[in-house]
Amino acid sequence: MFEILKHFETKYGTLKKKGLRIEGLSMIDPKRKKHVIMVSKPFMFDNRQLPKVYEGLEIKAKIEGILPKEFAIKKDAPKKEYVWAPNKFEKYVDRCADEIRMQFGNPDMTRAEMLDALAFGNFEEHKRKSLQLMKEGKIPAFKMN
């Protein structure tokens, strides 16, 4: 397993320049002995550059640093909010498109590409999963627009 982590670090180590931190292996399910590769990254990171799974190990990522105002959660709010609601990504991209293009070094980046880059690699998939989790009552309800 440490060999897989070494390969991962070799292959994706260049992303450290963009803020990726490879934290190492972590056991998330002791009963099934399920391990993952833990990474952390800034919010403004092109998630399309990271795989979801690498040589059989899932990649679990956490975001470090300050989130844009669209993602702020009011601690004293009477009802809970889903921090990663799809409409928050859309509002952020619509407000900061030029800044995002500059950060990613791609002046021709489309809105869809920005949403994919920020929303875990595939915005439409994230939207579908979020709507399903909302219907199942697993995350707080959110508006789509």
Same domain, 85 and 115: yes
Q: Which domain holds residue 81?
A: 69-135
Instruction: Specify whether 59 is located in the same domain as 79.
Output: no
Relative to beta strand 34-42, strand 57-64 is parallel
Full pLDDT tens readout for the chain, 145 residues: 889 999 999 999 999 999 999 999 999 888 888 999 999 999 999 999 999 999 999 999 999 999 999 998 877 766 788 999 999 999 999 999 999 999 999 999 999 999 999 999 999 999 999 999 999 999 998 887 6
d(CA 15, CA 111): 23
Same domain, yes or no, for 49 and 15?
yes
Q: Domain for residue 144, yes or no?
A: no
58 and 6: one domain? yes
Are residue 75 and residue 131 in the same domain, yes or no? yes
92 and 58 co-located in one domain: no
Q: Could you please report the per-residue DSSP string of 79-145?
A: S---TT-HHHHHHHHHHHHHHHHHHHT-TT--HHHHHHHHTTT-HHHHHHHHHHHHHTTSS------
Q: How many domains is the chain built from?
A: 2
Residues 105 and 127 in one domain: yes
